[in-house]
Amino acid sequence: MTKLKETVMHYVFLLAACVSIAAVVLICVYLLGNGIPTMFEIGLGNFFGKVWKPSQDLYGIFPFIIGSIYVTAGAMVVGVPVGILCAVFLACFCPHRLYRVLNPAVRLMAGVPSIVYGFFGLMVLVPVVQRLSGTSGKGLLTASLLLGIMILPTIIGTAEPALRAVPRSYYEGALALGATHERSVFSVVLPAAKSGVLSGVILGVGRAIGETMAVIMIAGNQTKMPGGLLDGLRTMTSNIVLEMGYSTGIHRQALIATGVVLFVFILLINTCFSLVKGREAK
């Protein structure tokens, strides 16, 4: 009976894995099959140009690519240091009573809908930036700050377990050699957990580059090239959401092709991080 159960569960798990792989393959086939021919139909020079005016058959997505890169980079600058330091605090410094409050709070942040973060950015961050800069308050800086906050639970939730998984002997050995508690944590425990920490950063990058609703509300949604931290911009995901509802024909196909570019971007980011992790493991 036990062997029968093991056999059944083996095929159940195999089926689940095959379904997951099939879903990814179908997404790739659909996107590539519809997007790549559209790129050549529009013309690569036009498609990767700097002007997006569908009414004039101009479908240049370069400003959206730059906008996505800028916003993601800004979110990393804000979120990665704060997230890693918060994970270190929770894993190595936080008192037990305080941990019982902070840990559920971080988990709760991960469950907050994007639209709620967008309202927070619109009602809190935008007015602050507006008063400090004298601009509309909607732009690259505000979007980077909000996305930096949004990726915190992703980074913390992955980095903290990685830090706790480091053998206690590493920390105790550093103390035995005369290192302080802080030095033992930052010089021994944190480097030992770098694989898990880097995984959290990868997930954070994916969350930032794929975020849509919150960015739409506070980024300014301008189709021109961003010229500074306070300028409005539009990301690839925002452009797809804003225009897919009324697009038809080649315009709609151009938005699908934009999804292909976004998909390739995420694959490249994950591949680069994987190569870095593999090199560090050696």
Return the CATH number at 80. Answer: 1.10.3720.10
Spell out a b/e string for 184-219, using b for 16 or more CB atoms within 10 Å of the CB, else e. Answer: bbeebbbebbbebbbbbbbbbbbbbbbbbbbbbbbb
Interval 47-67 mean pLDDT: 90
Residue 166: helix, strand or coil by DSSP?
A: coil
pLDDT at 2 over 80: no
pLDDT for res 179: 86
Do 200 and 83 contact (CB within 8 A), yes or no? yes
Whole-number Å distance between alpha carbons of 38 and 104:
47
pLDDT for res 281: 55
Is 35 a domain residue?
Answer: no
pTM (two decimals): 0.86
Tell me the pLDDT band of 278, cut-offs 50, 70 and 90.
low
Whole-number Å distance between alpha carbons of 113 and 225:
29
Range of the domain at 217: 66-234
Is 150 a domain residue?
Answer: yes
Is 4 a domain residue?
Answer: no
Please give the tally of structural domains in the chain.
1
Is 77 a domain residue?
Answer: yes
Tell me the pLDDT band of 143, cut-offs 50, 70 and 90.
very high
Integer angstrom CA distances of residue 45 from 39, 64, 67? 9, 15, 19
pLDDT for res 198: 87
Compute how many other C-beta atoms are within 10 angstroms of the C-beta atom of residue 53: 10
User: Which H or E run contains 59?
Assistant: strand 58-59
pLDDT for res 282: 57
Is 244 a domain residue?
Answer: no
Is 258 a domain residue?
Answer: no
Interval 44-49 mean pLDDT: 88
pLDDT at 280 over 70: no
pLDDT in tens, 79-100: 999 999 999 999 999 898 999 9
Is 50 a domain residue?
Answer: no
pLDDT for res 18: 94
User: Which H or E run contains 52?
Assistant: strand 52-53
pLDDT at 44 over 80: yes
pLDDT at 27 over 80: yes
pLDDT for res 226: 84
pLDDT at 203 over 70: yes
Whole-number Å distance between alpha carbons of 194 and 176:
23
Range in 22-26, 93-97, 227-231, 273-277 the model is least confident about: 273-277
Is 8 a domain residue?
Answer: no
pLDDT in tens, 155-172: 999 999 999 999 999 888
